[in-house]
Structure 1
């Protein structure tokens, strides 16, 4: 057991997923996994955002865990996982994620990320294109739109009242554990990461999910304008009424969209949703696989 991360499990598990530990490159890594995945199930891993753990991703991950071999790790330095002094930029986190999949014997994986988890996924696909099958980028963060730091802080302040109040019980302890020095270092790395270039260079089917009320992202029409400049494999959908933490606030709708995307089915609405819950397709790249009826 690594000395920098005591392996303590809560008295009451926070998830219906199995809660486990492993050691990767000498660092204790905490993760959640489908309790009894089918031998032929496709692997789907969920990567968390800035300063957070994988805990807030669980509402969506749990809804998909019976259909996919699901992993929700706390990346090194986040949540309950141990820390590495040399790891606070996007490439390092991407390599750490792939090292975790090596440890789990996973050769190919589809990745679902929220916020900072999206640049981490882009970096994984850039360096390990043969191992990432599909990408789901939910509320991707970083780049010029979130600079300088005071602008990002203002955007976060605008987002907070748009999220469910119960999100604070998950986010605040994670942010406090992550700490101010780590926040400053990683913010600089995140905003300097070339997310747009990486996104448009992807050669794998990619789904981008945006919240209509997300103050951390440009408006959906701007995303469509940029994506339309080049042939790509990017499918962009807009979720009405959602803000930034869609994986937590709208898990039923997000899980529904991910299922359709994973099976190359048309992106549509579930008739059982409340009237104010709607998904709209904003952009479909010319090279995106045609939807199956």
Structure 2
């Protein structure tokens, strides 16, 4: 919205230009008769690796922007709202995890992207796992932040209690982002998507993945098992999974701790040891829970 000229009627408040919601460019495309909203690096470096950020249950890509923006100058970054979520149009059929993975492939086909690294949060992680399972030639690396779904989040009333416990652990400004998205998503969609999410075999498919995979967990996340259980699960594979625990974080790490998460992702993408940034506050630390044999050893 433009600023009114000096000739505007006296007494009316002067309107300021609308501040862009993101430093990423906001764009639309149309795929299979559905309008799809996405954000993209406005000036990606030449020959930059493609990185897409995949949102969680009932949400849009908006809450992923703090981390995505920090990486947008190094990677050709996309943050789409998957069909049925956020500002994108809805499909006639309700999407499940395989459908969402297919929608991600369709989005990349539309953008002319052959291969990408996918960074997901919560429900976005099973979507990425299914993407890697079904389209292994289309994914370079996977970053799974606070994976959700499976037996630990069943039944629905338990998941609701976990989400209620998580809410006060997140920054208060997260509510301004999440609540409108949840309201737009609606109760019927929530019930059907929850059923699809909890029935998806995330663990089995994760252990079958053979691409470099980084899992980032929040030490205060009530939606995830304790770290020792994660270590037990991760130890079932020794080839590709690096698990990092972020002290002080809860579930929405992409929103609450973007600097720390972007730091870890950069190191992972360059096959460098994961270390703490000395500029972080004293209460924020990284701990390796598990390191596969194909990852370099940690420093000191």
- Cα pair 1:264 1:291 within 8 Å, conserved: no
- Cα pair 2:275 2:298 within 8 Å, conserved: no
Q: Which residue among 85, 98, 105 is the counterpart of 1:98?
A: 105
CA distance in 2, matches of 1:104, 1:254: 26
CA distance in 1, matches of 2:89, 2:24: 21
Deviations 1:133-187 (A, max 9, x none): 0000000000000000000000000000000000000000000000000000000
- For 1:130, what is the secondary structure of its paired residue? helix
Q: CA deviation at 1:87?
A: 3.4
In structure 2, the residue matched to 1:46 is 53
- For 2:259, what is the secondary structure of its paired residue? helix
Q: Across the two proteins, how many residue pairs are aligned to each other? A: 283
- Cα pair 2:94 2:192 within 8 Å, conserved: no
Q: CA deviation at 1:131?
A: 1.0
Unaligned runs of 5+ in 2: 1-16
Q: Which residue among 282, 290, 293 is the counterpart of 2:296?
A: 290
CA distance in 2, matches of 1:256, 1:125: 24
- For 2:93, what is the secondary structure of its paired residue? coil
Alignment of 1:252-263 (within 5 A): 252-263=259-270
Give the root-mean-square deviation of aligned CA atoms. Answer: 1.3
CA distance in 1, matches of 2:18, 2:94: 30
In structure 1, the residue matched to 2:182 is 175
User: Which stretches of structure 1, 4 residues or more, deviate above 2 A after TM superposition?
Assistant: 10-13, 229-232, 288-293
CA distance in 1, matches of 2:131, 2:150: 17
Q: CA deviation at 1:13?
A: 2.5
Deviations 1:60-98 (A, max 9, x none): 000000000000000000000000021321000000011
CA distance in 1, matches of 2:102, 2:19: 32
- Cα pair 2:242 2:295 within 8 Å, conserved: no
Q: Which residue among 57, 75, 92 is the counterpart of 1:68?
A: 75
TM-score (ref. length: structure 2) = 0.92
In structure 1, the residue matched to 2:212 is 205
Deviations 1:85-131 (A, max 9, x none): 21321000000011000000000100000000000000100011011
Alignment of 1:23 onto 2:23: no
CA distance in 2, matches of 1:22, 1:263: 32
Unaligned runs of 5+ in 1: 1-9
CA distance in 2, matches of 1:290, 1:269: 16
Q: Which residue among 7, 14, 20 is the counterpart of 2:21?
A: 14
- Cα pair 2:34 2:83 within 8 Å, conserved: yes
- Cα pair 1:13 1:19 within 8 Å, conserved: no
- Cα pair 2:238 2:291 within 8 Å, conserved: no
Alignment of 1:123-134 (within 5 A): 123-134=130-141
Change in Cα spacing, 1:66 to 1:292, as seen in structure 2 (3 Å) is: farther
Alignment of 1:223 onto 2:230: yes
CA distance in 1, matches of 2:139, 2:231: 24
In structure 2, the residue matched to 1:7 is none
- Cα pair 2:207 2:236 within 8 Å, conserved: no
TM-score (ref. length: structure 1) = 0.94
CA distance in 1, matches of 2:94, 2:20: 28
Q: Larger C-alpha radius of gyration, 1 or 2?
A: 2
Deviations 1:209-265 (A, max 9, x none): 000000000011111111112333000000000000000000000000000000000
- Cα pair 1:34 1:66 within 8 Å, conserved: yes
